[in-house]
Amino acid sequence: MKTWISLACALALSVHAADAPPRVSSARTMAEAGLTDIRSLVPDMAETIHYAGSDNFTGATVDGYRAPKCFLRTAAAEALARVEHNLRRAGYRLRLWDCYRPARAVANFVRWAGDLSDTKTKPAHYPHLEKDQLLGEYIAPVSGHSRGATVDLTLMRCDGDRCAALDMGTDFDFFDPRAHTDDPGIDPAQRANRQRLVHAMAKEGFVNYPQEWWHYSLPSAAAADTIYDVPVE
């Protein structure tokens, strides 16, 4: 019950209230939600699902993440698999940081943002901001990830089975203008790496969110007026 109360409060707090909030699906399994494990399509996909552990901006495992897995709406999973296969032919691979995100996880983010006494992750994730600046600007009460067609990722250069992450200019979930895809402060090599990722994803229809170089959505695969709350397990 507490999860649903928290979720309802989070939705009500939305600063983007011009439109009605999306419906929370009654689906209780990944199959009912039309969500596919990316590893059923790419068994050796590189994944570091930060919210399933403590290495994330909240400093703790996030509600709804019971396993470090990437699920996406089936069309989005298939498109992402095609991106991965295309990149491998050119000597690159993806590393996934987050995919489908349960609505209860977003409510967890909102609660964390409201606790101004907890600033232990400030140096790594928001060094130039105060925590009370995060809600609304960087942490939204409703996330496109909960629709199942959004993914956070980076790009690796590979030599056979040995891969190394490219320098993108910031780490994941760095709340700062430097994380904007076209930020003028990054160097030419970092810009080229970001653009390589943009172009690879765009070939399969993924659209970058310009304020986060790692964030991509496939609009055609999203459930436009529906979000999901099935736990990742």
Residues identified as active-site: 212
Amino acid at 21: P
User: Backbone phi, then psi, for 165, in 5-degree steps?
Assistant: -65, 140
Minimal CA–CA distance to 142: which of 229, 30, 59?
A: 229
182 Cα distance to chain centroid: 19
Its sign, for the CA torsion 179, 180, 183, 186, is positive
Q: What is the 3-state secondary structure (H, E, C) of the chain?
A: CHHHHHHHHHHHCCCCCCCCCCEECCCCCHHHHCEEEHHHCCCCCEECCHHHCCCCCCCCCCCCECCCCCEEEHHHHHHHHHHHHHHHHCCEEEEEEECCCCHHHHHHHHHHHHCCCCCCCHHHHCCCCCHHHCECCCECCCCHHHHCCEEEEEEEEEECCEEEECCCCCCCCCCCHHHCCCCCCCCHHHHHHHHHHHHHHHCCCCEECCCCCCEEECHHHCCCCEECCCCEC
